[in-house]
Each structure stands twice: as structure tokens, then as C-alpha cells.
Structure 1
Amino acid sequence: MVSAGFESAREDVNVREWVDGWVVSRGASAPLLEPWGYTIHVGQIPHVARHVLAATNDAVLEADVRKATESARGLNWHLKVFADPERVLPWLAPGWEPYGSGDYLMVTELDASETVPGPPPGYRLHTWDRGGVTRVLLTDSDGSFAARGQIAPVGASAVVDQIETAEEHRRRGLGKVVMRTLHAAARAQGSTRAVLACTPEGRLLYEAVGWRTVAPLTNAKFVG
């Protein structure tokens, strides 16, 4: 479904799937449809709400970016545009500042033949479901945090979110254990594909477990 006035041919289904799963993962509001995409209320002091443009790459239009950023004047509203920052940043209305660098939108098909490895020696795997979200936690032998992640299946698609590995536990294969465990959890709930937004560091992990890049991600927020 698209909002009145938005050209459905320019709406990227990967963005809509990411939006629908992200709001479940973070407990945010249902997305409000806009002529250029979606508005989501997050409800945090550093992140009150966000605008997400529905198009990606060359389908993102200057007029849509300007309209979205001109419509928000509240501090700590955020903007997500899945297109090259070199194109997007000159189109921001006054008061908006970029943050982050080199982020991406990525997707994968969930392969039923994928094996799910157990945790390496010295680590314990914990999983639980709450509010439609499956969470995975790896701890070391004394119970300290090692790695985590979560996934929100929404129908045929699922959103992977908040993947993190403690610095002292990196390069031990923990990220792959978390990702493949999340993949299996989503498949068990009927999802056949998944989508995520990531940093440059995360991209290497996701490519290693079969993900591909759809578009770069430009981040900005209103600072007044």
C-alpha cells in the first residue's frame, strides 16, 4: 500500500519491509504514509521521530527530500534516505545535519539449507521471544556480554536489528552464530527473506553470511 500522491513504481519494497519490521523491533509507532514515504514516532529524547523516504538510489527525488525535511522542525527528528549522500545532502533543508558514514540497506533470501552453528567453546547461547521479536545473546564463561542481535519477522520478510559484538570478543565467529541463529528463527516463523540497515563494519559480516547491498543510506537529524 502507498500513500496518495506517491508513485508506486518508485516505492522500493525493501524499504517498506524494513520500515514494517523496524517498528516492531524497536516498539515504535506504526508508519504514517506520506507522499514521499513514511513518518515513524520513536519517542526517545535523542530520537523523537523519523522520516524515511520510500524510494532508493536514482529513484530518490530532490523534491521529496526537500519536502520531507521542510516538514519537520522538531529537535532530534531523523531522516533516512536510501541513496548516495553526495546526492542527498545538498537537498536537506536548513537545520538538518548528517551523521554516520557509509551505511547501507541490505537484503538476503533465507536459505532453508543453511546450517546453524553452535557457540564456540567457552560461550553460551541464549534466545528468547517477546512481542514478536526474537533476541539472541552470547555470553562468555563467566556470563559477561559477548554478542547479541534481534530479528522481527513480519509475514514473509524479517528485519535484523541491533547486531553487536563486544570488542574483546570480535573475530571469533560470534557474529555468524548470531546471524544464522536469527535466520533460523525467522524461517521458523514463516519468513523467506530478510532486510537490514547497517554500518560499514557490519556490512562485512553480513556479506559473509549471504547478504547483498541494495542501496547506500544517508542519515541526518534536525538540530535547529
Structure 2
Amino acid sequence: MDAKGLDALAERHGVTLHLAALPGAFVHPGRLLVEIDGAADESLRSRIAEAFVIGNRRAFDDDPRFGIIVLTEVAQRALSTSINDPGTAIDVLGTLVRVLALWDERRAAAPEARIHPRLRVPGISAAELFEDAFGPIARDGAPTLLVGLRLQKALAALHDLGGAEFQAAARVQADLAFLRAEAALSLPADREALRAAHARVGRAEGA
């Protein structure tokens, strides 16, 4: 999406554009891309459409969720039965914590002035990013205690680092991961260790 070009078009024609599909979204001929607030003729609508690139594959440019998904897929491949490398999955969890913490920090420091004042873009929610990051690892890593413990620790860290939105997203993913792992672990001692780690989500370190 050419955000600068869209904003310039909107300014020139005195309209406001409301983006309906973020970069990386699955689209089809019936999917709405943008709503136009103001009068728009066929020529303007055509030029707006030209500002969008639709391809067969997602790309990292302007699509931060794709970057998170690719990191998570590295962990999933490492957890496959053919590779069986939980250490790599644990390393990915650490990387995800750093990436999400940085995203939250940058978002909190966003400038007050709008970069493209004629363009309205929906935000990416913490819930979406947390599901992209941790949902697949929780499913594939459920039978592995070390992965389950580190996943709970990662979510506890993000819970403590962020505000209310981060805390709610971390809580949801921690609960889901706990339920999946508890059902997959056969030893009572392993389930008890996992339960203790899960109970620390939402409690600051040392509290």
C-alpha cells in the first residue's frame, strides 16, 4: 500500500480515506480495501486502487504480523517430530519477547502529529500479535515441559512489561497454553511444575 500516495490523493481531492484491509490481509474481488469519506469520481477511485499491490505472497514490508508468523514457524519446525529441537523453540520465544516489547515501546512513543492526516488506518491489536506469536507454539509444544515452562515465563514477562492490552493478551495466551500442555503432559510432577509457572503470570518477578 502506497500510504504517501493515498494521502496525497486524498488531500488533492478533499476526501478522507479509511483503510479496510491492512497489508498482509487475504483479499479477493469482493473484499473492501478502502472507504472514501467524500465525493469521488471514477478517476479518483481508479487511482486509489492503483495504490494497492495485491500479490500471491505476503512480504515483510508494512506487514509486521508476517514477521511474527515467520519467527513462530521456525519454532514450529524445530518442534516437529522429525527435528525435535526444543532448544530452538525456546530461543524463538526469547526473540518474540524482545520483538513484542520493542513494538509496545515504539507504539507508546508514537508521535502525536499524524504522518498521513488524510488516511485512517486500523491498528494492530496486541491480541492478534500474541495469537500469531504464541498460539502455534503452545499447540505444537504442548507435550514438551521445557517449552511449556518457557512459554509461561515469556508471557509473564510481557504481562509485566506492558499495559492493560498486553496484560489481557498475555493472560489469554497463558491460560490457553496451560490448558493444552496440561492435557498433553502425562506425569503429575510435570503438570504441577507447569501449574506453578502459569500461576506466576501476572505476578512481578520476586513478588
For the aligned pair, the TM-score class normalised by the smaller chain equals under 0.3
Greater helix share, 1 or 2?
Answer: 2
Question: When the two structures are superposed, what TM-score results if normalisation uses the length of structure 1?
Answer: 0.26
Higher RCO (C-alpha under 8 Å, 6+ residues apart): 1
Larger gyration radius, structure 1 or structure 2: 2
Question: When the two structures are superposed, what TM-score results if normalisation uses the length of structure 2?
Answer: 0.27
Greater strand share, 1 or 2?
Answer: 1
